[in-house]
Structure 1
Amino acid sequence: MALLGKAALAMWWDMAEPARAEFEHWHAHEHFPERLGIPGFRRASRWRSADGGEGVFVLYELEDHGVLSSPDYLARLNAPTPWSTRMMPHHRNMVRSQCRVLDSRGGGMASHALALRLSPAPGGTEELRGALRALAAELCVQPGLAGLHLLRHESPAIAQTAEQKLRGLNDRYADWVLLACGYEAAAVAALSAGALAEARLVALGAASGSERGLYQLAYSAVPADVADAVL
Structure 2
Amino acid sequence: MSLLGKAAVAMWWSVRPEQRAEFGDWHSHEHFPERMSIPGFRRGSRWTSTENADGFFVLYELEQYDVLTSRGYLDRLNAPTPWSTKMMPHHLGMVRSQCRVAASFGGGVATSLATVRLSPETGQEAALQAHLSETLRPLTSQPGLTGVHLLLTDAPRTSSPTTEQQIRGADGAADWIILLSGYDSEMIERALADQLAPSALRAAGARDNPMIGKYRLAFTMTPNDAVAV
Contact 1:57/1:215 (CA < 8 Å) preserved in 2?
yes
Alignment of 1:139-158 (within 5 A): 139-158=139-158
Which letter maps to 1:226?
Answer: A
1:160 paired with 2:161, answer yes
The 3-state SS of whatever aligns with 1:48 is strand
The 3-state SS of whatever aligns with 1:75 is helix
Deviations 1:164-198 (A, max 9, x none): 11112x11101111001111011112222222111
User: 1:138 matched to which residue of 2?
Assistant: 138
Deviations 1:126-183 (A, max 9, x none): 1111111111122111111111100011111222000011112x11101111001111
Deviates more, 1:106-115 or 1:174-183: 106-115
Contact 1:145/1:181 (CA < 8 Å) preserved in 2?
yes
Alignment of 1:209-224 (within 5 A): 209-224=209-224
- In 1: Cα distance, 2:122 partner to 2:146 partner: 30
1:42 paired with 2:42, answer yes
Deviates more, 1:122-131 or 1:34-43: 122-131
TM-score norm. by structure 1 comes to 0.96
Unaligned runs of 5+ in 1: none
Which letter maps to 1:81?
Answer: T
Unaligned runs of 5+ in 2: none
Alignment of 1:98-113 (within 5 A): 98-107=98-107, 109-113=109-113
Which letter maps to 1:33?
Answer: P
Alignment of 1:193-208 (within 5 A): 193-208=193-208
The 3-state SS of whatever aligns with 1:44 is strand
- In 1: Cα distance, 2:186 partner to 2:87 partner: 33
Alignment of 1:167-182 (within 5 A): 167-168=168-169, 170-182=170-182
Post-superposition shift, 1:109? 2.2
The 3-state SS of whatever aligns with 2:101 is strand
Post-superposition shift, 1:52? 5.2
The 3-state SS of whatever aligns with 1:160 is coil
- In 1: Cα distance, 2:76 partner to 2:189 partner: 36
